[in-house]
């Protein structure tokens, strides 16, 4: 994440950008370290020719003891301190920046819907943190909720938003572009694919927004269907193939599914060793099932047949996938025990 942040700052300085916008949650107020603050300050000092506008959000609110208030920031950094729209006119270019900051984990007042833009011939841009309710992700808590279509001023040209971790452009009437740039790097397996930042160019009536990757590291969640495979090497090759097509590092969660012959079942630590060099990190989840004719086994007039018939019935009645998988595994172990065989140890493996 630090590398991604530094690459964004460097790009802003080299382009050069007329302004660098940070739409909140730059750090975690509850556990930010002095080392992180030192990194941020030095980074912003490295681009003294680029004004930096920070709109604190719910994770980095502007509080009396927050680093925003208690540390000295470079002269080119402007931090919005209150939940009230504040305007700042740039001197070198005809741009006026608007923004507000959270004054606590929950903003005391919601400024959305109260921004007014004068018709003064300048380009008006805004940066803020909040939840556009038409785009609220499932399970995401709403902070400073608003409806972009109803609250975006007609004369505003660009609204940079923070809070949602996935990039999203929100359509509104008029010339304004409303954009979540998302987190520069995915945080976990719920944030797959490449993340980054956006570069915005406003030229006359045109607003162009480019999505730019900030890191070559991505999270991915994949499944491998092992049905019909005849050797464990085929499983190894199928898992390795997931890393193809991406030149950067991949953090992967791979689920193995399908019915395979008992002799093809493998120790996941062995599989881990076979694919480790293709991934930055890999977590393997084994949902493989033994390839057997369980209906035929259940029809046998033997104790093994009675066991399989009972397990088949419980598996069919299982309403939760987690319970079904446990029962499937129990049936497999039971059949192996009846036949005097052992089965490979199956554990979730991570590099």
Measure the N-to-C terminal CA separation of the chain; round to a whole number of Å: 20
d(CA 193, CA 250): 9
d(CA 276, CA 35): 32
Of 133, 131, 199, the closest CA to residue 165 belongs to 131
pLDDT digits (tens, 9 = 90+) for 109-131: 999 999 999 999 999 999 999 99
pLDDT score for 248: 85
pLDDT score for 4: 94
Counting Cα atoms < 13 Å in the Cβ hemisphere of 134 gives 12
> Rounded to the nearest 5°, which phi and psi values hold at 307?
-60, -50
As a whole number, mean pLDDT of residues 233-245 equals 91
pLDDT score for 274: 87
Residue 290 has pLDDT above 90, yes or no: no
Residue 346 has pLDDT above 80, yes or no: no
Pairing of strands 349-350, 281-290: antiparallel
User: Percentage of the chain surpassing pLDDT 70?
Assistant: 95
Average pLDDT across the chain, whole number: 91
Q: Which of 10-14, 208-212, 247-251 has the lowest mean pLDDT?
A: 247-251
DSSP for 79-131 reads E--SSS-EEEE-SSSSEEEEE---SSSS-SS--TT------SSSEEEEEEE-E
pLDDT score for 52: 98
Residue 27 has pLDDT above 70, yes or no: yes
pLDDT score for 228: 85
Residue 210 has pLDDT above 70, yes or no: yes
Where does the pLDDT of residue 79 fall: very low under 50, low under 70, confident under 90, or very high at 90 and above? very high
DSSP for 129-168 reads E-EEGGGPPTTPPPSSEE-HHHHS-TT--EEEEES-SS-E
Stated pTM of the model:
0.80
Find the helix or strand (DSSP H, E) in which 219 lies.
strand 218-225
SS3 348: coil
Where does the pLDDT of residue 350 fall: very low under 50, low under 70, confident under 90, or very high at 90 and above? low
61-70, 136-145, 338-347, range with greatest mean pLDDT? 61-70
- Domains of the chain by start residue, with CATH: 2-213 (3.60.21.10), 218-350 (no CATH)
pLDDT digits (tens, 9 = 90+) for 216-230: 889 999 999 998 888
Q: Which of 98-112, 127-141, 276-290 has the lowest mean pLDDT?
A: 276-290
Residue 92 has pLDDT above 80, yes or no: yes
pLDDT score for 297: 87
pLDDT digits (tens, 9 = 90+) for 122-168: 999 999 999 999 999 888 889 999 999 999 999 999 999 999 999 99
């Amino acid at each position: 994440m630090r590398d991604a942040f530094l690459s964004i700052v460097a790009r802003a300085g080299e382009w050069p950008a007329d302004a660098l916008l940070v739409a909140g949650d730059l750090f975690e107020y509850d556990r930010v370290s002095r080392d992180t603050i030192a990194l941020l300050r030095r980074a912003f000092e490295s681009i003294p020719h680029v004004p930096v506008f920070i709109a604190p959000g719910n994770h980095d609110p502007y509080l009396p003891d927050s680093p925003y208030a208690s540390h000295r920031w470079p002269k080119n950094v402007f931090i919005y301190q209150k939940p009230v729209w504040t305007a700042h006119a740039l001197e070198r270019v005809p741009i006026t920046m608007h923004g507000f900051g959270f004054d606590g984990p929950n903003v005391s007042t919601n400024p959305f819907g109260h921004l007014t833009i004068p018709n003064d011939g300048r380009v008006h841009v805004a940066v803020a943190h909040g939840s556009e309710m038409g785009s609220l992700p499932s399970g995401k808590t709403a902070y400073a909720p608003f409806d972009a279509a109803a609250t975006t001023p007609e004369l505003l040209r660009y609204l940079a938003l923070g809070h949602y971790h996935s990039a999203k452009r929100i359509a509104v009437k008029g010339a304004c572009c409303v954009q979540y740039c998302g987190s520069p790097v995915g945080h976990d397996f719920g944030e797959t694919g490449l993340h980054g930042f956006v570069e915005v160019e406003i030229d006359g009536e045109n607003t162009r927004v480019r999505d730019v990757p900030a890191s070559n590291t991505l999270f991915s969640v994949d499944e491998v269907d092992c049905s019909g495979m005849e050797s464990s090497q085929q499983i190894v090759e199928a898992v390795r193939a997931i890393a193809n097509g991406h030149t950067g590092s991949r953090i992967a969660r791979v689920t193995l599914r399908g019915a395979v012959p008992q002799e093809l079942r493998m120790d996941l630590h062995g599989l881990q060793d076979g694919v480790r060099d293709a991934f930055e990190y890999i977590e393997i989840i084994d949902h493989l099932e033994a390839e057997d004719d369980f209906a035929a086994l259940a029809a046998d007039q033997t104790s093994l047949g009675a066991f399989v018939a009972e397990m088949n019935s419980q598996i069919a009645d299982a309403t939760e996938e987690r319970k079904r998988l446990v029962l499937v595994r129990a049936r497999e172990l039971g059949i192996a025990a009846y036949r005097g065989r052992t089965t490979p140890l199956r554990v979730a493996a991570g590099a």
